A and B are shown apart, each in its own frame.
Chain A
Amino acid sequence: MKEVASREMWRLKTESRIKWKEIGWYLMVIIITIPFIFPLIWILTAAFKTQAQIIASPPLWIFKPTLNNFKSVFMEQNFARFLWNSSVVAVASTVLSLLLGLPAAYSISRYNQRALGVFILVARLMPGISFLIPWYILFSKIRLVDTFTALIASHMLVGLPLIVWIMLNHFDGIPRELEESARVDGCSIQNAFFRIVLPISGPGIITATTLSFLFSWNNFMFSLVLSTNRTKTLPIAIYNFVSYAEVSWGNVMAAAVVIITPAIILTMIFQRYVIKGLTMGAVKG
């Protein structure tokens, strides 16, 4: 009887020790995570504050939310227009990059055209600013500055190499036997590509598309030089806020929420693919 009791006590003791260890570990995870999420939460709350509430010290956590910042951003600052511009550029540059990039990646993979592969890699790693002067001069000469064409083409230089690089890795992983058996049945190479290879490339295409869209959506440098009033994208629009003498921080934060939210939603939907895309360069490739 006594022995059973002491054994029972020992079991409880170890269990509670494991439990405390667990709690401590979870606490550590929370402490690690908070700094990464805090600034975003802060932006979100500030978007619903008045200027006085934003600059209050100590910071206010409980307040009556106002929609004035969003009203001002959409009514006075014309953000619907910039939202549209950003969407046009991001969608167009991604779709065009897919059209060009998918066949190219397939061909590089199947015919071992590694020279082109190297140029693609260099394009991915070059500092974007090295293209800006020549683009600016050339686009001015052919009167393309302030057109969507120039902006989309510039964003494609980010999207296309990314797509080719991701898809190249993907196609390398698809066994050739699949197409070869189709070829024996009299299917042409292009048909095998469109009907057999592409339909099973969903995960790769999702990864490539999501990242290409995100990079275009977030792009600042190219749009800074190549867009003006008519084609202004969201990152440029929000940047223009702070050039005024007195910054309305509420408006800036509301604009930030408008810009960041689509990127976050996309990331939530395709989390697995975004992680794969962002880390693949390091683990494999």
Chain B
Amino acid sequence: MSAKKPLRVGQLIEKNIKWLFPLPTGVFIFLMMIFPVLYTFYVSLTDWDMISGGLISFIGLDNYINLLKDPRFFNAVKLTLYFTVLAVGVEVILGVFIALVLNRDFRGKNIVKLFLLLPMVATPVAIGLAWTLFYEPTIGLGNYGLKLLGLPPSQWLGSKAMVIPALALVDIWEWTPMITLIVLAGLASLPQESFEAAFVDGASRFQIIRYVTLPLLRPTILIALILRCIDALKTFDIIYVMTTGGPGFASETLNIYAYNLSFNYFRFGAASAALVALFTLVLACNLIVLWMRKTYEM
């Protein structure tokens, strides 16, 4: 009897393995993600804030209407897009260029790759603080560098015009290598015949890059670009640590706006509406990626 029991348990597990294996993950995802998201939708339809305390009343779409009336919200949408386009645009151009330069065998290639990897894995909070010091107007390296170049000093994070480009530069420093590494991997998988054919036809190196390499790389670059966009839209650590959205609201992106509404003003209802707006934006980007993967069969 007791000898048979483990066998039966084993069979029972085997029979239901389709359910047993993914069940814990499914439950976890439901509790920690799906339920919270549904809850956010629900809260976004109420007037819940610190003042109302336990008394929550259902107010329909009022939070969304107020959101659309709030200039801070539009400012946040605008800044989120500005930051993303600026950072990702430079990252893609620079990243592809660096990948094309590094695309050959050479001694020390691994160490160069390691150096490129470090900005990505270094803790963003620590990085943000170091850059805060670089940007310090009186003692920072930034203005020292400008002085060396004979340029007037900048207020960097203190200036409403400079703050987004300054933050984007940190993002560029962190994430250009990701584009480079993705494109390098893409380059390694390209068919060699097309290059040989172009070479035999007497194409110059520049022509090969322009007319053979880049067109072949287009799907890889596109996917890298969109992956970066999704992450850049969500940037939080660097901006929160370096400016908390300031000066004024000059660097208050959607993420920071939603955070401030929730945990500085404790206006959970209004913040939830902003969050729904944010994840609609991000999910829309994701759908584009999924659709593109299907179209390009990647």
Contact = CB atoms under 8 A, between A and B. Distances in A.
Nearest to A255: B126
A129 B258 contact: yes
A131 B131 contact: no
B284 to A, nearest CB: 11
A203 interface: no
A55 B139 contact: yes
Contacts of A275: 113, 117, 181, 185
Interface residues of A, number: 94
Contacts of A156: 28, 32
A266 B121 CA distance: 9
A163 B98 CA distance: 30
B86 interface: no
Nearest to A262: B123
A29 B130 contact: no
Interface string B273-284: 001001100110
Contacts of A108: 22
Contact of B114 (A101, A122, A191, A271): A271
**Residue among A54, A59, A218 with most chain B CB within 10 A:** A218
B134 interface: yes
Contact of A256 (B116, B130, B144, B230): B130
B55 interface: no
Interface stretch (A10-18, A39-47, A74-82): A39-47
B25 A123 contact: no
A260 B24 CA distance: 33
Interface stretch (B12-20, B194-202, B208-216): B12-20
Given A28-B101, A104-B21, A283-B189, A278 B181 contact: yes
B259 interface: yes
B268 A259 contact: no
Interface of B: 10-11, 13-14, 17-18, 20-22, 24-26, 28-29, 32-37, 39-40, 43, 98, 101-102, 106, 110, 112-127, 129-134, 139, 141, 144, 173, 176-178, 181-182, 185-186, 189, 220, 223-224, 227, 230, 233-234, 236-237, 240-241, 255, 258-259, 262-263, 268, 271-272, 275, 278-279, 282-283, 286, 298
